[in-house]
Structure 1
Amino acid sequence: MLKRILRLGHVFKPRQTINFSYKNMQSEDSKEQVITEGLATVKTSGNVFYNQVQEFNRDLSISVLNVFSRQYQKEKIKKQNDNSGQHEEELKVGIKNENGITILEALSATGLRSIRYAKEIAGVKQIVANDISRNAVENIKLNVNENNVEDLITVSENDAIMLMYQHRLKERFDAIDLDPYGCPSRFLDSAVQAINDGGLLLVTATDMAVLAGNSPETCYSKYGAISLRIKSCHEMALRILLQCIESHANRYGRYIEPLLSLSADFYIRVFVRVHTSAHKCKFTTSKLSMVYQCTGCDTFTLQPLGIVKTSDDNKQIKFKLPVGPSVGSACEHCGNSFHLGGPIWSAPIHCMDFVQEILQTAPTHLKTLKRIHGVLSVITEELPDCPLYFILERLSGTLHVETPPILAFRSALLNAGYHVSFTHTHKTSIKTNAPAKVIWDIMRCWESKHPLKEKRKAEKSPGNNILAKQPEKQYCFDLHRDANPQSRREGFVRFQENPLPFWGPGVRSTAMVGDDKMLKSRLNQGKRKRDQSEDKEEK
């Protein structure tokens, strides 16, 4: 121990040199950069968080809020007495609208998003740009002044959670944007209380490793659901986040209405409206399901938490518990056991009318407009009532057979009378209302045309267990006219692009990290290797 202290003392003796080098590094990190995005131009220092890949996120949010602003104003006028004489007014961009919406950006960082909202969304009354960092707040104030949007943006230096709790009873917001670094769950309790009835909640989650099944125990502690390492993990991540928001809302007699749920790049993003109705909260159990995933062939089965039954005249509603489990002790296809995940949101995750309106009215100046049109076009083609999906390569890999062309497989389902679609989360996804038994029968028929290699037939595997059974009927792979959807035929930018420079969630902002902590972090870099080399020298 004494030797270690002496060594540390020898290494860290020239304190002035260390302080000098740290100041140099700090000044390099704090270099000012100018960012132009959309109609906004902001200046930021290196220790304030900014991720340029999130421009698609911000462009899409602007498109969504423009549609929401128009709809929300119409609904407010409709709720008021028709004799009041109030008529729908023209919503203007960049000008304060007294009857417009109020927006909270709880975690503003550079303030770029708030400034873009002020300059690119029609019908805004007020935007609160909040951040807990004093450096970030000063930066936001400077950028607000330079963009001439002082009359629309109020800058706040506060803890985001406490700020939302302060607005839970009065002066609620019409829209709250939560775009944190990592998991958003700690903000949800205050957010669902601080938003107006019918208001819009925009939530981003970037901890995809947790949501995609790499750490199911962590997922449960953060989101209240077990994640699975399933091929449709990106859609399951969206559904886990939606059930988490619904869970927080239900505690206060509120429920959510998903408008758009998106998986893009390294994050997921959901846009939901929050409504108030204790009666409607009773329907929540029928919107949630547990997921049984076969450990051998990855076949999934959903078990709803509740059932809603209505009378023939639709006047009486009964809430019942389902009979379960919906699977046996072993998979009926391959004989393996199951993993249990969830609960997940199993109701529709998009409002197709809302998505269509975004497509028709998205601002033309957006840099990522082509990608917005492409992704939303795929979403409009998704089957709304078929949670999760299969992956074509995974089906073939389980059986060790040649992968069928995607259009041939889709045609087999369509020729058999089932529905099928892609999803925006995966290029070779198979979202269908056909039961899993039909999926594997189609693969058996394909294997009969493209036989398995002899050396594979002797193996004991889930795939051979599936192939040991005969298909109930023969399926036709002739090309169906609807097999190739419009978004694919016209070459839309349907899926995320290959990673670009600065792709990924980036690093957490260091604006609130003290100098002492930063210095300690820098000094500890390579510490283990230094200690090992010094130990070898002593020996």
Structure 2
Amino acid sequence: MIVNEGSAEIIVPEVYHGPGKRGTGFYNADQKINRDITIEFIKRMGVHTVLDGFGGTGIRGIRISKETGSSVTIAEVSRESYRLIMQNVERNGSQATVVNDSFECVLQHGVFEYVDIDPYGSPAPYLDAALLGVKRNGYLGITATDQSALTGSVPHKTRVRYEAVINNDTFRHEMGVRLLIGYVARRAASLGRWIEPMMSIWHGHYYRVFVRVMKGFEGAGRMMRNMGYVNKHTLLWDMYPDMDEGPVWKGNIQDDAVAKDVLGSAGHMNFNSEENRLLFCDMTDIARIRHTSLPPVETVLQSLVSYGHAASRTMFSPTGIKTDASCTTLEGIMMDALRRRSPA
């Protein structure tokens, strides 16, 4: 089967949607947005040397090579997939180098300003090698599809894999992203490294984060001040359970200037500076607890802004609002909007 994506035309055994499964030449069509954003990130950061650590069909590395001009190495441990990648590299006239070896081994024999980690499932087993192997002040692009662990929907996986407790509720996707960043930060600190989140995305079945990696225990100590536990009962609203969740990353999840440029160029998602705010108020939760219907989200947003509050939608919930107003204030605005809408 022939697939066209970006500047590349590749041969794939089969096209998958969703999390997919391990197989020769795995190609996931739903990851196109991920790859588009990655390419714009590499261009924005001026990266010259790239490792695509999990080649599959070679689509990511081939596109990066052709569309950014960076020097790209594609690692693929499967012999069958390696042969397919070689065929696709030649088909596209790409200058990418393809190595039939593991991600970890390839890292030891090259110097890369950007390392892409897009495995099947959790990136956790590969983080130490990437943090140690990437060039100082370089970048990691990390994809995680193990949402059952990161969102707390399978609690024992969350505890065993990420050494954390997360409540599987309305906030699970933001908490999942913050758990992922926090786990990368903790692994970095243990290795004398520290990270700075550049971008964070939730899209369907995966999370994608980009971080800058720097060296030094002093910086690691400063970084760890962003780690901690979240209690939604005290942070947001007393209707939520009184429990501590984490440890998670409580600091910024994006560099606004970078995210604005990259998302604007990629064209798939809107930039939102309010995403750095820790959690949000969710109108669906408020309506459920108050046993009311939902007023239009835009009406509530406009009212918040008219009262002088910062307010915007969030990628983490269709009825969530990132705001500096309290959830109690938001509740009052919702009730006012419903009263105005009701017939006299």
Scaled by the length of structure 2, the TM-score of the pair is 0.89
Task: Give 1:415 deviation, angstroms.
Answer: 3.5
Residue matched to 1:292: 231
Task: Give 1:401 deviation, angstroms.
Answer: 1.1
Residue matched to 1:158: 101
Residue matched to 2:149: 210
The structure richer in strand per residue is 2
Q: Distance in 2 between matches of 1:448 and 1:120?
A: 54
Residue matched to 1:500: none
Task: Give 1:212 deviation, angstroms.
Answer: 1.9
Q: Distance in 2 between matches of 1:202 and 1:251?
A: 20
Q: Distance in 2 between matches of 1:129 and 1:428?
A: 40
Residue matched to 2:68: 121
* 1:472-511 Cα deviation digits (max 9, x unpaired): xxxxxxxxxxxxxxxxxxxxxxxxxxxxxxxxxxxxxxxx
Instruction: Answer whether contact 2:281 2:330 (CA < 8 A) is retained.
Output: no
| Range with bigger deviation, 220-229 or 173-182 | 220-229
Q: Distance in 1 between matches of 2:337 and 2:287?
A: 10
Instruction: Answer whether contact 2:43 2:68 (CA < 8 A) is retained.
Output: yes
Q: Distance in 1 between matches of 2:91 and 2:142?
A: 28
Aligned pairs (5 A) from 1:171-186: 171-186=110-125
Instruction: Answer whether contact 1:197 1:274 (CA < 8 A) is retained.
Output: yes
Instruction: Answer whether contact 2:61 2:72 (CA < 8 A) is retained.
Output: yes
Q: Distance in 1 between matches of 2:336 and 2:320?
A: 20
Aligned pairs (5 A) from 1:74-85: none
Residue matched to 2:9: 41
* 1:222-276 Cα deviation digits (max 9, x unpaired): 2232222121211111111111111111122211111110001211111111112
Task: Give 1:408 deviation, angstroms.
Answer: 2.7
Instruction: Answer whether contact 1:231 1:390 (CA < 8 A) is retained.
Output: no
Q: Distance in 1 between matches of 2:298 and 2:216?
A: 45
Q: Secondary structure at the match of 2:27?
A: coil
* 1:182-225 Cα deviation digits (max 9, x unpaired): 11111001100000111110000111222222112211222232
Structure 2 vs 1, CA of residues 447 and 254 (structure 1 numbering), >3 Å: closer, same or farther? same
Residue matched to 2:242: 338
Q: 2:309 aligns with which of 412, 415, 418?
A: 418
Residue matched to 1:351: 255
Residue matched to 2:192: 253
Instruction: Answer whether contact 2:195 2:223 (CA < 8 A) is retained.
Output: no
- In the alignment, structure 1 residue 132 sits paired with structure 2 residue 77: yes
Q: 1:402 aligns with which of 293, 299, 308?
A: 293
Task: Give 1:435 deviation, angstroms.
Answer: 2.7
- In the alignment, structure 1 residue 61 sits paired with structure 2 residue 38: yes
Task: Give 1:108 deviation, angstroms.
Answer: 0.4
Q: Distance in 2 between matches of 1:349 and 1:448?
A: 37
Structure 2 vs 1, CA of residues 42 and 400 (structure 1 numbering), >3 Å: closer, same or farther? same
Residue matched to 1:324: none
Scaled by the length of structure 1, the TM-score of the pair is 0.58
Instruction: Answer whether contact 2:299 2:337 (CA < 8 A) is retained.
Output: no
Q: Distance in 2 between matches of 1:402 and 1:437?
A: 17
| Range with bigger deviation, 257-266 or 46-55 | 46-55
Q: Secondary structure at the match of 2:231?
A: strand
Instruction: Answer whether contact 1:210 1:216 (CA < 8 A) is retained.
Output: yes
* 1:405-433 Cα deviation digits (max 9, x unpaired): 21332233333332111112333221112
What letter corresponds to residue 110 of structure 1 in structure 2? T
Q: Distance in 1 between matches of 2:93 and 2:307?
A: 60
What letter corresponds to residue 318 of structure 2 in structure 1? K
Aligned residues: 333
Q: 1:141 aligns with which of 83, 86, 89?
A: 86
Instruction: Answer whether contact 1:232 1:390 (CA < 8 A) is retained.
Output: no
Instruction: Answer whether contact 2:275 2:314 (CA < 8 A) is retained.
Output: no
Q: 2:216 aligns with which of 277, 280, 286?
A: 277
Q: 1:103 aligns with which of 29, 34, 50?
A: 50
Residue matched to 2:277: 386
Aligned pairs (5 A) from 1:314-325: none
Provide the identity percentage: 28
Instruction: Answer whether contact 2:186 2:224 (CA < 8 A) is retained.
Output: no
Q: Distance in 2 between matches of 1:437 and 1:260?
A: 30
Q: Secondary structure at the match of 1:418?
A: coil
> How big is the alpha-carbon RMSD for the aligned residues of Structure 1 and Structure 2?
2.3
Q: Distance in 2 between matches of 1:162 and 1:408?
A: 55
Task: Give 1:353 deviation, angstroms.
Answer: 1.0
Structure 2 vs 1, CA of residues 385 and 55 (structure 1 numbering), >3 Å: closer, same or farther? closer
